[in-house]
Structure formats: structure tokens, C-alpha cells
């Protein structure tokens, strides 16, 4: 297995805590059954859960993969090979802008999910710079792979000898076949 070098570790905006807190408070309020949870959420449980969520966010860009993990109790870890990354797209909406956050959606090759993305990263500090670093790392990885493939595709001496033997056998069979047809 090839060695991976850490290129960049993403930093997340602390405003994510307020965003998650407010989003879930609104959701609890909209759902009539969960209105009693709003009181517990606002009185402290929500801040505690949001702090745990924020502290568990990690995103690393290595020379071969983009790795993301989140969640304290319900953990999610995703690893996307750089060769599968097709595009990175920004998602903005008024609610996100209110918290000065953006979503960076990672679109991958061969993804058949309804959402069209394998990974959504919310609140990365300097998201534009992170996007550029991921795209540069992907391009470097693909260029290195093509160069390695070109070197590996050159036939070695053993392969050439086998091909010469196969060619000689085919020629011998042709000569033998033409002699039989001539009789």
C-alpha cells in the first residue's frame, strides 16, 4: 500500500454550533409533538449536543483521499478517493448566509444516490481555498497515475520474448497448414 501524505486539515467555523442549534430548535417547534423538547433544548441540552457535534467534525485531505468524519454518538466516516471526485459545488441559502456558512458538496464518479453527492461539508473556513486544494490534489494524483501507468505499460524483456515465441509458433502453424493444403 502506498504512503499517504496529509496535505490539508480543514478547519470548521464555530458558527456551525449556532446553525445546528437553531435548525433543530426550529424543527422541534414545527413538529407539534416535539414542542416540549424545545424547552429542554434551549435550556442547555442543545448547546451541549452542538458542542459535541462541532468537536467531532474532522476533514482531512491526503495525497490519495478526502476523509470526513462527524458525529459523537452516531458517527459517520466517509473516505473518497481523489480519483473519484468529479466536482465540488457550493450551496448557499438565506439561512446559511445568516450564519455566514456555506455547504461544499463533493460530487463523485458513479454516484447513483438521489442527493447526487457522497459528501456535504458544512461550514469549512475558507471553503474556496479548500476547494482549490482538493482540485489541485486530485489533478496531481491523476497526473501521477498517468505517468506511472505509462511507465508500467512499457513491455519488459520477458514479455517481448514470450510474444516472439508466440509469433514463431503462429508462423510455424501457418507453414504447416499451407503444406497440408498443398498436398
3 state SS of 154: coil
How many whole angstroms separate alpha carbon 183 and alpha carbon 176? 11
With H, G, I as helix, E, B as strand and everything else as coil, classify residue 114: coil
Contact 37, 24 (CB under 8 A): no
- What are the structural domains, with CATH classification, of the chain? 6-13+60-168 (2.30.29)
Q: 117: which 3 cell numbers?
A: 453527492
Closest CA to 86 of 110, 52, 56: 110
Residues 90 and 24: their CA atoms lie apart, in Å, by 22
Contacts of residue 94, defined as CB under 8 A and 6 or more positions apart, other chains included, come to none
pLDDT at 21: 95
The reported pLDDT for the residue numbered 150 is 55
Position 35 scores a pLDDT of 86
Model confidence, pTM: 0.72
Q: Which pLDDT score, from 0 to 100, does residue 155 have?
A: 59
- Determine the Cα angle at 123 with ends 13 and 134, to 5°: 110
52 vs 88: CA distance, rounded Å: 27
- Residue 2's region, left for phi above 0, alpha for psi from -120 to 50, else beta, is beta
101 burial via Cβ count (<10 Å: 0-12, 13-18, 19+): buried
| CA atoms in the 13 A half-sphere facing the CB of 33 | 0
pLDDT score for 179:
86
Give pLDDT tens digits along the chain (183 positions): 467 789 999 999 999 999 999 999 999 899 888 888 899 999 999 999 999 999 999 999 999 999 999 998 899 999 999 999 999 999 999 999 999 999 999 998 866 555 545 789 999 999 999 999 999 999 998 888 777 665 555 556 677 788 888 999 999 988 888 888 876
Amino acid at each position: 500500500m502506498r504512503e499517504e501524505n496529509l496535505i490539508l486539515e480543514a478547519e470548521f467555523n464555530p458558527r456551525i454550533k449556532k446553525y445546528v442549534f437553531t435548525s433543530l430548535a426550529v424543527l422541534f417547534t414545527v413538529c407539534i409533538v416535539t414542542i416540549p423538547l424545545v424547552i429542554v433544548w434551549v435550556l442547555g441540552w442543545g448547546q451541549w449536543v452542538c458542542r459535541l457535534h462541532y468537536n467531532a467534525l474532522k476533514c482531512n485531505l491526503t495525497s490519495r483521499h478526502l476523509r470526513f468524519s462527524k458525529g459523537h454518538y452516531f458517527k459517520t466516516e466517509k473516505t473518497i478517493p481523489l480519483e473519484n471526485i468529479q466536482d465540488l459545488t457550493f450551496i448557499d441559502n438565506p439561512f446559511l448566509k445568516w450564519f455566514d456558512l456555506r455547504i461544499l458538496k463533493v460530487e463523485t464518479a458513479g454516484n447513483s444516490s438521489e442527493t447526487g453527492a457522497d459528501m456535504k461539508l458544512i461550514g469549512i473556513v475558507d471553503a474556496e481555498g479548500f476547494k482549490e486544494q482538493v482540485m489541485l490534489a486530485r489533478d496531481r494524483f491523476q497526473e501521477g497515475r498517468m505517468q506511472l501507468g505509462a511507465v508500467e505499460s512499457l513491455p519488459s524483456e520477458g514479455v517481448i520474448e514470450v510474444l516472439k515465441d508466440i509469433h514463431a509458433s503462429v508462423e510455424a502453424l501457418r507453414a504447416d497448414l499451407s503444406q497440408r493444403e498443398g498436398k
